[in-house]
């Protein structure tokens, strides 16, 4: 995993540990979080197993690498969520999520949100990867 994407994953983990949950998915302190979960076809950056019997597959992308790089995560999230849904029969539902650091262009970030919504993927935008790295260094 590249440094920018690793910063996005670390930011998610730190905010979750601090009790600050993203409203886009039903997180709680009792959730089980697995990072770099190996699947037959790839590795999911984050999988959150929720108490309600659902799971959220979160693909993390570094927005500084550009719009095309980020939107590629929509397909990855779908691929990983499908595999998880097929292998874990006890799950009631599996959410597809894309979490990315800002591309630095408000219009592109908005376009990524729209693409996610049209594809049935939960958009989870974050601040720029560089600022995530700087703020996490202080934690």
Please report which residue ranges of the chain form alpha helices under DSSP H: 3-17, 67-87, 106-118, 129-137
* Segments making up each domain of the chain, as ranges: 3-137
Q: Residue 5 is encoded by which pair of tokens?
A: 């994407």
Q: In this structure, how many other beta carbons lie within 10 angstroms of the beta carbon of residue 54?
A: 15
- Surface-to-core class of residue 128, CB atoms within 10 Å of its CB (0-12 exposed, 13-18 middle, 19+ buried): middle
**Full-model pTM:** 0.88
Q: Residue 6 is encoded by which pair of tokens?
A: 């690793």
Q: pLDDT tens for residues 95-127? A: 999 999 999 999 999 999 999 999 999 999 987
What is the predicted pLDDT for the residue at 18? 86
Closest CA to 55 of 35, 33, 39: 33
If pLDDT is split at 50, 70 and 90, which confidence band does 131 have? low
Which residues have a Cβ under 8 Å from the Cβ of 138 and sit 6 or more positions away? none
CATH of domain 3-137: 3.40.1350
**Mean pLDDT to the nearest integer, 11-19:** 88
Q: pLDDT tens for residues 21-54? A: 878 898 899 999 999 999 999 999 999 999 999 9
What is the predicted pLDDT for the residue at 134? 45
């Amino acid at each position: 995993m590249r440094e920018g994407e690793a910063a996005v994953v670390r930011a998610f983990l730190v905010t979750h540990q601090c009790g600050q949950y993203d409203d886009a998915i039903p997180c709680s302190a009792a959730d089980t979080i697995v990072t770099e979960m190996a699947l037959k076809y790839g590795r999911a950056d984050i999988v959150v197993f929720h108490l309600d019997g659902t799971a959220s597959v979160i693909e993390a992308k570094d927005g500084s690498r550009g719009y095309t790089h980020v939107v590629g995560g929509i397909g990855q999230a779908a691929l990983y969520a499908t595999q998880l849904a097929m292998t874990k029969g006890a799950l009631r539902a599996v959410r597809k999520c894309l979490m990315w650091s800002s591309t630095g262009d408000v219009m592109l970030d908005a376009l990524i949100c729209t693409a996610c919504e049209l594809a049935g993927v939960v958009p989870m935008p974050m601040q720029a990867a560089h600022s995530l790295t700087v703020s996490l260094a202080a934690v």
